[in-house]
C-alpha cells in the first residue's frame, strides 16, 4: 500500500535530516515549492510541514520560512507527551530498559506529595529510555497503588508508564519543576555520561479525578535534551 502524499513529503524531509544533508537551521522548501515538487496541493504540503513542526523536527516562522530545528531532543513543559511518541515522531527507534519495578513503602519526603501515610505501599519503576540505541532519559517514577493496582504486571519494555497510566487514570492536572543538575554517579553511569556533564531534570506530579497518580523524576543529558513550547495568546 502506497503512503499518503503528505507522509511521502515528511519521509523525504526526515531522510535529508538523517543523512546530514540538511543540518540544524537549514531552510526547508516552501509549501508552494513542495507542492510543485511532489505534484500535490499546497494544503497537503502544509500538513506535512505542520506535522513535523508539531513534533519539533521543524521550526516555522511566519513571514520568514521553515527551518530544521535544533537536533537536541525537545519536549514541551506545557504538555505531557509520551517519550516513545516523541522519538518515533522523529523517525527514530525507541527502546526501554527496565531497571527496577517493585512495591515499596512511601518515602517520608514524598508523603506531602501523595497525601498517603508512611505505612502505605506504593509502586516504583525505573526505566531507561533510549533513542536509536543511545541513552536519552532516565525515568524514576512513584505510583499511587490505589489508583493503578495492576502497574507491576505491565511490560514497560513494550508500553511506557505514561501510556499505561493515561489509560487507567486519565490525567487531569500536572505540575513541573525543571532544573539543571549534576546527577549522581549511578545516573551518569546509566546515561553513559561523565560525572561532570550537566543534566536537565524534570520533576512532574500528575493527578487524575481520583487523586495524585504519580511523581516522576526525568533526567536527561543536557546536550541531548531540551524543553520548549509555543503559546498563543
pTM, to two decimals: 0.67
pLDDT at 51: 86
Give CA–CA dist 69/90, Å, rounded: 11
Grid coordinates belonging to 128:
531507561
Q: What are the residue ranges spanned by the domains of the chain? A: 5-68, 73-227
DSSP string, 52-116: HHHTTSEEEETTTEEEEPPSSEEE-TTS---HHHHHHHTT--EEEEEEEEEEEEPPGGGHHHHT-
User: What does each of the 233 residues of the chain score in pLDDT, given as a tens digit?
Assistant: 577 888 899 889 988 887 778 887 889 999 999 999 999 999 999 999 988 888 778 888 777 789 887 655 545 544 567 888 888 888 889 999 999 999 998 888 888 788 888 888 899 999 999 999 999 999 999 999 999 999 999 999 999 999 999 899 888 888 888 889 999 999 999 999 999 899 999 999 898 888 899 999 999 998 776 555 443 43
Task: Quickly name the fold that domain 73-227 has.
Answer: Chorismate lyase (3.40.1410)
pLDDT at 59: 84
pLDDT at 21: 87
Give CA–CA dist 67/56, Å, rounded: 11
> Which CATH architecture fits 5-68?
Orthogonal Bundle (1.10)
pLDDT at 233: 33
Contacts of 108 (CB under 8 A, 6+ apart): 118
Amino acid at each position: 500500500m502506497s503512503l499518503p502524499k503528505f507522509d511521502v513529503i515528511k519521509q523525504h524531509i526526515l531522510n535529508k535530516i538523517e543523512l546530514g544533508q540538511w543540518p540544524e537551521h537549514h531552510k526547508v522548501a516552501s509549501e508552494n515549492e513542495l507542492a510543485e515538487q511532489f505534484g500535490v496541493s499546497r494544503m497537503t504540503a502544509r500538513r506535512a510541514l505542520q506535522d513535523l513542526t508539531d513534533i519539533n523536527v521543524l521550526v516555522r516562522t511566519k513571514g520568514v520560512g521553515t527551518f530544521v530545528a535544533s537536533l537536541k531532543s525537545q519536549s514541551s513543559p506545557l504538555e505531557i507527551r509520551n517519550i516513545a511518541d516523541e522519538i518515533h515522531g522523529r523517525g527514530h527507534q525507541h527502546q526501554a530498559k527496565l531497571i527496577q519495578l517493585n512495591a515499596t513503602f512511601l518515602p517520608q519526603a514524598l508523603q506531602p506529595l501523595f497525601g498517603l501515610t508512611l505505612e502505605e505501599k506504593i509502586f516504583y519503576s525505573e526505566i531507561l529510555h533510549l533513542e536509536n540505541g543511545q541513552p536519552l532519559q532516565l525515568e524514576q517514577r512513584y505510583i499511587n497503588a490505589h489508583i493503578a493496582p495492576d502497574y507491576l504486571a505491565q511490560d514497560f519494555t513494550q508500553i511506557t508508564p505514561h501510556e499505561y497510566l493515561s489509560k487507567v487514570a486519565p490525567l487531569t492536572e500536572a505540575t513541573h519543576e525543571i532544573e539543571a543538575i549534576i546527577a549522581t554517579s549511578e545516573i551518569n553511569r546509566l546515561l553513559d555520561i561523565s560525572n561532570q556533564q550537566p543534566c536537565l531534570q524534570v520533576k512532574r506530579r500528575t493527578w487524575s479525578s481520583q487523586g495524585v497518580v504519580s511523581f516522576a523524576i526525568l533526567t536527561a543529558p543536557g546536550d541531548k535534551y531540551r524543553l520548549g513550547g509555543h503559546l498563543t495568546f
